[in-house]
Amino acid sequence: MTHRRFKDKSDPAQQEWKTLQPAWGWARFDIYRKVPKDLTQPTYTGAIISICCCLFILFLFLSELTGFITTEVVNELYVDDPDKDSGGKIDVSLNISLPNLHCELVGLDIQDEMGRHEVGHIDNSMKIPLNNGAGCRFEGQFSINKVPGNFHVSTHSATAQPQNPDMTHVIHKLSFGDTLQVQNVHGAFNALGGADRLTSNPLASHDYILKIVPTVYEDKSGKQQYSYQYTVANKEYVAYSHTGRIIPAIWFRYDLSPITVKYTERRQPLYRFITTICAIIGGTFTVAGILDSCIFTASEAWKKIQLGKMH
């Protein structure tokens, strides 16, 4: 009589083999094959290279982390009017001292190519006496049209014109548009601030020729501020006509540049930061591995040469 023998399904060895079979099937896709520890050989050179490698990676990681956290300000140039909602106006802030001219004689006149001609502008302005009333400090906020023109500090609006008005002065502030409270942008937003003409000819006129450049600052939230930078050239002269000497004044002649400067706050994207860190780690370990392999190979070759000499 023939007897068949069946494998016991409850055998632990059989169950372990069945459990490992799927694992071994997937294991062939492992591109990171493991080397048993007894097949590796640690060296002092390798330890030194490994420590230096880790310190180098840490240094680069901290540098990249600082750059990732820090907000970057980039700038660009384009041709356009950035502030189309301003109604074609530019806000101006002027603060100037004339230490030798009485306040009742000081006035602000505005004119431009659109036909505006305003003498003795007084809205949003203030005159502060200086030197016991002998001088005057003029502070004013006003608007100008976005066309070439000028505004000037003079005695034209005075009831009676002085014989020899002294136009020596100090400009504390001349700015256009919004005041940017940012540290990352260093521009000529108040290029005439601190201009001192106290030692000039008292009877001379002063011409400041301004080239105004529209400037936009956009923060990370997308909020925009509109300001204006400007370059300046100046000249000092005593003017005469066929009737005699012309009453001096302080002229600010301006024109607008078609070029707009835009500053934008940006932060490095997360994916770029991760990509950079992976490149740092992978590249450093690869180079360190090549260096260690070269040193180890050279060391083994040197040992073989020494053993050959001994034999």
pLDDT digits (tens, 9 = 90+) for 38-88: 767 777 888 888 889 899 999 999 998 888 888 888 888 888 887 777 778
Q: Specify the higher pLDDT residue, 35 or 93.
A: 93
Q: Quick one: 211 and 234 in the same domain?
A: yes
pTM of the entire structure? 0.70
CA 250 and chain centroid, separation: 34
Return the pLDDT at 116.
Answer: 93
Q: Do 139 and 179 fall into the same domain?
A: yes
Q: How many CA atoms lie within 13 A of 212 on its CB side?
A: 25
Q: Which domain holds residue 136?
A: 80-258
State how far the alpha carbon of 200 is from the alpha carbons of 23, 104, 234, 256, in Å: 93, 22, 13, 29
Identify whether 306 is part of a domain: no
Q: Which residue has the higher pLDDT, 70 or 279?
A: 279
50 and 103 share a domain?
no
Total of domains in the chain:
2
- Pair 96, 66 in one domain: no
- What pLDDT digit, counting tens, does each position of 114-167 carry? 999 999 998 999 999 999 999 999 999 999 999 999 999 999 999 888 888 999
216 neighbors 178 (Cβ within 8 angstroms):
no
pLDDT bin (cut points 50, 70, 90) of residue 309 is low
For residues 104 and 55, state if they share a domain. no
170-205 pLDDT, tens digit per residue, is: 999 999 998 887 777 788 999 999 999 999 999 999
Given a cut of 60, whether residue 14 has pLDDT beyond it is no
Q: Where are the beta strands (DSSP E) in 133-194?
A: 135-145, 149-154, 170-177
Statement to judge: residues 201 and 286 lie in one domain: no
Average pLDDT over residues 265-276: 87
- Between CA 150 and CA 112 the distance in angstroms is 6
Q: What is the mean pLDDT of residues 219-232?
A: 90
pLDDT at 55: 92
Report which secondary-structure segment, H or E, holds 296. Answer: helix 270-310
Same domain, 120 and 179: yes
Domain contains 252: yes
What's the pLDDT at 32?
Answer: 67
d(CA 16, CA 21): 9
Please give the structure tokens belonging to residue 87.
């109604």
* Cα-Cα-Cα-Cα dihedral sign, residues 180, 183, 192, 82: negative
